[in-house]
Amino acid sequence: MIREQETTLYLGPQHPGITGNMMVKLKVKGDTVIKAETHVGYLHRAFEKLIENRNWLQSFTLLCRFCVPEPDPMELTYARAVEQLEGREVPERAKYIRTIVSELARIQSFLLWYGGQSGSSGLYTLGQWSVGDRNYILDLFEDLTGARIYHMYMWPGGVRRDLPEGWIDKAYKTMDYLEKRLTDYNQLLFDNAIFQKRAQGVGIIPKDKAIEWGVVGAPLRGTGIKHDVRIDEPYEAYDQLKFVVPTYEGGDVWARALVRRDEIKQSISIIRQALDKLPGGSYYNRIPNPMKWTVPAGEAWVKTESVRGEIGFYVVSDGSNKPRRVHLKGAAYAHGVSVLEKILPGQNIADVSFILNSLGVCPPEIER
C-alpha cells in the first residue's frame, strides 16, 4: 500500500481488539502481517500450583476460573476425571442436568462469540443484541446454580442442587425466545454482504494439516473434518440424545462462523430433548467429608467438547486428599499460539482481531 516499510505492531495487552489479556506481536509490512508471535502470561494465576495447596473439592472451585467465558466445561471435565479415578457413579438425572448445563454454557458462550466476532468487524449492533440476550441464559444459570458466571455446580458425584421449581418451563421459554432472536442475528450477520466479504477466504486453516496442527472444535469442523468429543467419546447423556455435528468446507473465518451458527441451533435442540427426557431420581452421589476425601492413586485423561473445542484434564492422584497434578489442555493452547502464528502471516492487520475471535483464543487457558 502506501508505506511499504516494516513496522512492529503490538496488538495488546491493552487493545480493544484482543480477546482477553494477551499480546500478539506483529511484524507488519504496509497492511500485511508478515510475522506473528503470541505473548501470553498476563493472566497467569498459577492454578496448577495452587492446587497443590487445595484438596480435591477445593480445587473444583478454582478450576472453573480457567477460562472465563465458559467455566462449565472445566467443572464438568474435572468432575468426570475425579469420578473416573474414583470409579464413582453419577446418577442418571445428574447426567441429564449436566448435559443441559453444558449446552446452556455453549449457547451463552456462542452469544458472546457473536458479539466478539461482529464487534471485531465493527458491527456493534449484533454484539449489543446477543450479549444482551445472553443475560437470559445467565438468568437461567442464576436460578439453577446461584451465580451468573462461576457456577461451581457440577461437582464430582453429580450436581450440587436439584432443578428449582418452574425452571424447566423457564428454560423452554428462553429457548423459544432465543430461537426467534437467532433469525434476527443471522439476518444481520450471515446475510450481510459485507460480513461475507470480510469473512470469506480469511484465516484459512488447511484441511490436510488441521488435525496435525492440533486444531479442534469449530475451527476443525470448519475445515470439513467431523470430530466432536460428544460423538467420539460420548459422555453424560449425549449418547441418548439426537444431534448433528455441523461441518463446513473452507477452513476460513466464514466456515467457522457457519459451524457456530448451526451449533447453537443444535444446542437448543439438545436442551429441549434433555428437558423432555429428564429422568427422576437422585441428582448427587454424595462424596465423603471433603476435608478427608482421598482419591485412589492413578491417572485420568478426560476430554470434553467445550465451546472452543476439545479440552482435556490430565489428573494424577497419589492417593492423598490433594490432587498431585491437574493439567488442563485447553482448546486455545494450540489455537492461540502455534496455529495463530502459522495462519496470521499474509493476513491483513484488519483481520487479526477477526481471526482471533473466530479461533476462540482464550488466553487464560494457555497460561492458566
Partner 1 sequence: MNDIIFKIGGAFLTAILAFTVGMFYAGLRRKITARVQNRVGPPIYQNFLDLLKLQSKRTNVAHGFMGHMAPIWIIIAAMTVLMFIPILQNNLWFENLTLKGDLIFLLYMMVFGSLGMALGAGQTGNPNSAIGVSRGLSQMVGFEIPFVMALVALMLQFKTTSIADLMHFQFTSGHWIILENPFAFLAALLSSLGMFRYSPFDIVGAPAELASGPMSEFGGKYLGTMMTGGAVFAFIKLVLFVDLFLGGAGNNSVEGIMGTGLGLLELLLKTFLFYMIPVFVGLVSPRYRTEQAIQFFWKWPSVFGILAILWALYKNGTLL
Partner 2 sequence: MSILDLKGLLVPIGALKQMGKHPHTINFPDEEKNISDRYRGFHHNSLEDCIGCGNCSTICMNEAIDMVALAEIEGGKGDSGLRPRVDYGRCCYCALCVDVCPTGSLNMTKDFIQVTNNPYEFLLTPGKDNPEAKEKVSFKADLEASLNIFDRVPMRELDPGERVKSFAEVLLGYNEEEARREANRCISCGLCTEACPVHMHIPEYINAIAQGKDDEALKIIYDNNDLPEVCGKVCTRRCEDVCAIQVRGEAVAIRWLKGYVTETADNADLIKQIVTPEIREPNHYKVGIVGAGPAGLTAGYYLSLRGYDVTIYESHKDPGGMVMYGIPKYRLPYDSIQKQVDYMVKMGVKIHYNTRVGKDISFQEIYDNSDAVFLGVGLQDAWNLGIEGDDADGVMSAIDFLGKINSGETVEVGKKLISVGGGNVSIDASRVGRRLGAEVDQLYRRRIKDMPADWEEIEGAEDEGVHLIPQAIPTRVIKDKKGKVKGIEYVKAEMISEGGGRPRPVPIEGSETIIDCDIIIAAIGQKADYSLLPEDIADKLKMERGKILVNDNRQTSISKIFAGGDAVKYGNVDAISAIADGYYATLGIDKMLMKKE
Partner 3 sequence: MSEKNTIGIPTVEEIKQAQIDFSPRCTAAGRVNDKETQKMVDYILNFARKHSLFVLAYGTGCGAIEIPATMTSRYDAERFGIRGAATPRQADILMITGYLSTKTLKRVIRVYEQMQDPKYVIAFGSCTINGGMYFDSYNTIKALDRYLPVDVYIAGCMPRPESVIRGFVKLQELIQKGNAGNGECYRENLDWYRENQQKVIKNWDFPENYNW
Q: Residue 297 touches which of partner 2, partner 3, partner 1, none (CB < 5 to 8 A by kind)?
A: none
Going residue by residue from 272 to 301, which x/- string records binding to partner 1, judged by CB under 8 A? ------------------------------
- With the CA atoms of 95, 361, 193 and 128 taken in that order, what torsion angle do they form, in degrees rounded to the nearest 10? 70
Cα 52 from Cα 47, distance rounded (Å): 9
- Taken in order 159, 62, 302, 222, is the CA torsion positive or negative? positive
Binding pattern to partner 2, positions 94-133, x when CB under 8 A?
A: -------------------------------x---x--x-
Q: Work out whether 58 is an interface residue with partner 2 (CB under 8 A).
A: yes
Among 8, 122, 148, 169, binds partner 3 (CB under 8 A): 148
6-11, strands of its sheet edge to edge: 6-11, 23-29, 32-39
Kindly state whether residue 2 participates in binding partner 1, applying the rule CB under 8 A. Answer: yes
The sign of the CA dihedral 266, 204, 126, 193 is negative
User: Which 19-48 positions form the footprint of partner 1 (CB under 8 A)?
Assistant: 28, 30-31
CA 197: distance to chain centroid?
Answer: 26
Does 351 sit near partner 1 (CB under 8 A)? Answer: yes
Query: Site map for partner 1, 185-224, x if CB under 8 A?
Result: ---x---x-xx-xx--------------------------
Nine-digit cell at 247? 461441518
Q: Is 348 helix (H, G, I), strand (E, B) or coil?
A: strand
Q: Which three cell numbers stand for residue 326?
A: 491437574
In degrees, to the nearest 5, what angle opens at C-alpha 286 toward C-alphas 234 and 106? 35
As measured in angstroms, the least distance from the Cβ of 69 to partner 3 is: 6
- Segment contacting partner 1 (CB under 8 A): 68-76, 117-125, 228-236, 276-284? 117-125
Which amino acid does the sequence have at 336?
A: G
Task: Tell me whether residue 202 or residue 220 sits nearer to partner 1 (CB atom).
Answer: 202
In the complex, least distance from residue 106 CB atom to partner 1, rounded to whole angstroms: 23
- Helix 253-277 to helix 92-119 angle (10° resolution) is 150
Residues 136-195 close enough to bind partner 2 by CB under 8 A: 139, 142-147, 150, 152, 160-161, 164, 184, 187-188, 191-194
- Which ranges in 87-150 belong to alpha helices (H)? 92-119, 124-145
Q: Which does 161 bind (CB under 5 to 8 A by kind): partner 1, partner 2, partner 3, none?
A: partner 2
Note whether 254 binds partner 1 by CB under 8 A. no
The CA distance from 42 to 363, in Å, is 8
Furthest-apart CA pair in the chain: how many Å?
Answer: 69
Cell numbers at residue 188, please?
Answer: 444481520
Residue 226 binding target from partner 1, partner 3, partner 2, none, CB below 5 to 8 Å by type: none
Q: For residue 10, what is the enclosing H or E element?
A: strand 6-11
d(C-alpha 43, C-alpha 38), whole Å: 14
Residues lying near partner 1 in the complex (CB under 8 A) are found at 1-3, 7-10, 15-17, 28, 30-31, 118-125, 128-129, 132, 188, 192, 194-195, 197-198, 348-354
Residues lying near partner 2 in the complex (CB under 8 A) are found at 53-55, 57-59, 61-62, 125, 129, 132, 139, 142-147, 150, 152, 160-161, 164, 184, 187-188, 191-194, 196-197, 284, 286-293
